[in-house]
Each structure stands twice: as structure tokens, then as C-alpha cells.
Amino acid sequence: MRQTILSYLKKIVKYSVMSIIIFSLGAVAFTLLKPGPMLKRIFDANYLIAALIILYGIVTYFAPVNIRKIKAVVDHSNIAEVAREEKEKKIRGAYESIAWGICNIVLVGLIEFIILRSILLFR
């Protein structure tokens, strides 16, 4: 159980760090094209992406499972079992997206706090 939770957290943190890096590079590229406050745009872009990831998780959590698109249904005798498995997969993915977005917000907030604190200390 503990190993499962640690591997899940490792996966979520890895997703968060990679998305922060990718969208920060995108915000830097946008700032180079259109001048403006770079740090503000980097943090705003990451907060926006984190909010969209959380929204995606919430929407997929409440979206119904479409039985007709499931390939595992061979005959109608196993339809309840297959639908339950598909719903569990969908809920697991929704939880993962929500946790990813929350971890993204926490990491970006922590980075922003550290950077702003260090800027204020060296003034």
C-alpha cells in the first residue's frame, strides 16, 4: 500500500515538474515575442494550465461511460463487469488529473514564494 502511494506521488510530481518546465518555456517564448514582465507571465501561465488540468479532471469524473465504445464487451453477459472496470479507470484518471493540477499549483506557488522572497532579500 505504501509503495503504491509513493509510486503514485512520484508519477504526479514528475508530471507536474515536466508541465511546469514546458509551459514556462512557452511563456518565455511568448515574452520574447511580446515584451512584458517575464516572471509574472511564467507564473500566470502555469497557474492557468494547472486550473485547466483540474477542470479536465472534474469534467472526466462526471462524464458518463459510453458502453458502445468499449472494445472489451464480447457479449452482453459481461457488460456490467466491463462497465465497472471502465468506470474505475475513468475515475482513476480523473483523480490523477486533479492531483496533478493541485501539485502543479503547490509547486508553482512554492517556486514563486522562493523567487520573490530571494528578490526581496537581495534588494
To the nearest 10 degrees (0 to 180), the angle between helices 2-33 and 79-121 is: 60
Cell of 3: 509503495
Q: What is the mean pLDDT of residues 19-31?
A: 93
pLDDT band at residue 3 under the 50/70/90 scheme? confident
Question: 78-81, long-range: CB within 8 Å, 24+ apart, which pairs?
Answer: none
pLDDT of residue 67: 59
Q: Are 94 and 4 in contact (CB under 8 A)?
A: no
* Mean pLDDT to the nearest integer, 55-76: 74
Q: What is the pLDDT of residue 20?
A: 93
Hey, what's the cell of 41? 507571465
Domain count, the chain: 1
Domain extent, residue 94, equals 2-121
Which of 21-25, 35-39, 114-118 ranks highest by mean pLDDT? 21-25
Give the pLDDT band of residue 118 (cuts 50, 70, 90): confident
Rg (CA), the chain: 20
Mean pLDDT of 79-88: 80
Separation CA 19–CA 111 (nearest Å): 14
Question: For residue 76, what pLDDT is reported?
Answer: 65
pLDDT for 69 equals 62
The confidence score (pLDDT) of residue 72 equals 57
Could you count the other beta carbons within 10 Å of the beta carbon of residue 26? 15
pLDDT band at 19 (very low <50, low <70, confident <90, very high): very high
CA angle 96, 87, 75 (to 5 degrees): 145
